[in-house]
């Protein structure tokens, strides 16, 4: 159970997601992917007004589900003073232009969350770089972070390149029942990671939910 100090009430808008898996890819057009008529049972976006601040200075502000597709969560992400708007499929991954149908189908199968559920698919980009994406629901556990003590779902998200794409990275995320991400760890397993978009580790110092 959450501690009494873990959740603060506010009328402000926000939430937390650190990095989306395929964030460098362009999203598909409406003509390329027909949205699901109804999201799967157990899925929902954090309420508009949910805000998470990270110990690395990031801030995520949720705006709820996208108006044109209820399986996408919309939020603003501010890191190092730079703000951008993100649309994340099931609040887990950006939808790529090249394999959108498979991604959506696989991620739907994760809901409702249960320990051991897994989604996996192959995708690629314009340059022919290919990788295997795997998302696993490890289980539900109690976690204590600067923002308080929470009961959350632990997920692992793995990107493994193949062919001439030689890098592999893995994230572990702790997610509340409403989809809010409160902690993330990242590690490079192999290959050159560069800076910025690759393994980022942070924890929430404040979680604000709407009244």
pLDDT score of 7 more than 80 = no
pLDDT band at 3 (very low <50, low <70, confident <90, very high): very low
Half-sphere exposure of 132 (CA within 13 A, CB side): 8
Q: How high is the pLDDT of residue 40?
A: 95
- Judged against a pLDDT cut of 60, whether residue 1 lies above it is answered with no
Q: Assign residue 28 a region: left if phi > 0, alpha if psi is -120 to 50, beta otherwise?
A: beta
1 inside domain:
no
2 belongs to a structural domain: no
Residues 6+ apart with CB under 8 A from 156: 134, 135, 136, 138, 170, 171, 172, 173
Is 183 part of any domain?
yes
Residues 6 or more apart from 33 whose CB is under 8 A from it? 95, 100, 101, 104
CA–CA gap between residue 185 and residue 174 (Å, rounded): 9
**Of 15-29, 107-121, 135-149, where does mean pLDDT reach its minimum?**
15-29
Nearest by Cα to 172 from 159, 186, 160? 186
187 assigned to some structural domain: yes
The residue segments making up the domain with residue 133 are 8-210
pLDDT digits over 26-44, tens only? 344 433 455 556 899 999 9
Number of neighbours of residue 114 by Cβ within 10 angstroms? 12
Q: What is the mean pLDDT of residues 122-135?
A: 83
DSSP strand E in 22-129: where?
51-54, 59-66, 69-79, 82-89, 118-124
In a domain, 171, yes or no: yes
- Please report the pLDDT score of residue 98 as a whole number: 65
Check the CA dihedral 145-154-169-28 and report its sign: negative
**Residue 141 placed within a domain:** yes
pTM for the model: 0.81
Predicted confidence at residue 84, as pLDDT, reads 93
pLDDT given for residue 155 in this prediction: 97
Tell whether 177 is covered by a domain. Answer: yes
pLDDT digits (tens, 9 = 90+) for 129-166: 788 999 999 999 999 999 999 999 999 999 888 877 77
Considering 9-23, 26-40, 117-131, the range whose residues carry the highest mean pLDDT is 117-131
Q: How many domains does the chain have?
A: 1
pLDDT above 70 covers what percent of the chain? Answer: 75
pLDDT (tens digit per residue) in 69-103: 999 999 999 998 999 999 999 999 876 666 667 88
Residue 3 lies in a domain: no
């Amino acid at each position: 159970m959450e501690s009494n100090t873990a959740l603060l009430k506010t009328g402000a808008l926000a939430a937390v997601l650190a990095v989306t898996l395929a964030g460098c890819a362009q999203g598909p057009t409406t003509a390329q992917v027909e949205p699901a008529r109804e999201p799967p049972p157990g899925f929902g976006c954090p309420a508009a007004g949910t805000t998470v601040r990270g110990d690395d200075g990031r801030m995520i502000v949720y705006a709820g589900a996208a108006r044109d597709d209820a399986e996408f969560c919309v939020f603003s992400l501010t890191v190092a003073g730079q703000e951008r708007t993100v649309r994340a499929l099931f609040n887990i991954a950006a939808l790529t232009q090249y394999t959108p149908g498979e991604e959506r189908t696989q991620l739907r199968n994760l809901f409702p969350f249960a320990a051991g559920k897994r989604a996996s698919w192959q995708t690629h980009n314009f340059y022919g770089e290919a990788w295997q994406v795997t998302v696993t629901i490890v289980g539900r556990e109690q976690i204590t972070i600067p923002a308080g003590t929470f009961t959350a779902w632990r997920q692992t998200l793995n990107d493994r390149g193949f062919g001439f794409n030689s890098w592999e990275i893995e994230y572990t995320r702790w997610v509340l029942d409403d989809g809010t991400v409160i902690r993330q760890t990242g590690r490079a397993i192999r290959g050159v990671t560069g800076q910025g978009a690759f393994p980022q580790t942070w924890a929430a110092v404040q979680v604000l939910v709407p009244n």
